[in-house]
Structure 1
Amino acid sequence: MLAETGIEIMPIPRAALFLAAKVFTQYRKPGGTRGGVPPDFFIGAHAAVSGLSLLTRDTKRFQTYFKSLTLISPTA
């Protein structure tokens, strides 16, 4: 069924995993929540490393940590 939608599932590149960890370290420095890496960091890093645009309503977080990322934000 998923193939019929045209959605492609891509493995996350190692460079994206490294970038997600690096961004998480920046997030933690000023008192960010302890625990695992937030999923948004994996999503943002994957898009940034792969040169993809990202559709999101949470532009602030992505602009803060992924400056090179092209964001598409729908209006409410």
Structure 2
Amino acid sequence: MAVILIDSGVVIDLSDPESAWFEWSVATLERLDQNNTLVINPIIYAECSIGFERIEEVEVLFEHLGFVIRPIPKEALFLAGKAFLQYKKRQGGKSNVLPDFFIGAHAVVANYRLMTRDRGRFSTYFPSVELIMPNSANGLNR
């Protein structure tokens, strides 16, 4: 069984039926859930918790979705730092991007596929990660 890391944007879509990406996220996860293990990491958990008042609400969401929380290996933390350094050397000006580097590096080191709607930094700094993304043809872009 393959493992797929679910990016926080997808989780946020799933928690909001009014989201423009709700239908894509639900349909894609239904297809993927059959033969894969769906996981998040502590960074994704923290990013998703922002929209909730209590930890119990976040716990209910992840329990309902059936996502497993996996720790980020030290090797991924190291790789995230190196990728972030490359970003800064390329004059990357946004200061809120470090979580993406932790997520991308985790996918690389653990050899996970990554379900996301954010191609940018993932494809640039972690080109070996197989991204599961929306496209206009079939809802998947790999």
Residue 75 (structure 1) aligns with:
135
Q: Could you tell me which runs of 5 or more consecutive residues in structure 1 were left unpaired when the two chains were aligned.
A: none
Match status 1:6 vs 2:30: no
- How far apart are 1:37 and its partner, in Å? 5.8
Structure showing greater radius of gyration is 2
- How far apart are 1:46 and its partner, in Å? 0.6
Match status 1:43 vs 2:117: no
Q: 1-side partners of 2:79 and 2:113: how far apart?
A: 16
Residue 30 (structure 1) aligns with:
90
SS in 2 for 1:54: strand
Which moves more between the two structures, 59-68 or 15-24? 59-68
Q: Could you tell me which runs of 5 or more consecutive residues in structure 2 were left unpaired when the two chains were aligned.
A: 1-59, 137-142
C-alpha distance after superposition, 1:16-41 (max 9, x if no partner): 00000000010000211375762110
Number of equivalences: 76
Residue 62 (structure 1) aligns with:
122
SS in 2 for 1:39: helix
Comparing both structures, which one devotes a greater share of its residues to strand?
2
Q: CA RMSD in A?
A: 1.9
Moved segments of 4+, more than 4 Å: 34-37
* TM-score (normalizing by structure 1): 0.84
Q: 1-side partners of 2:119 and 2:97: how far apart?
A: 18
Q: 2-side partners of 1:58 and 1:37: how far apart?
A: 12
Identity of aligned residues (%): 53
CA contact (8 A) 1:24 1:41 kept: yes
Q: What letter corresponds to residue 134 of structure 2 in structure 1?
A: P
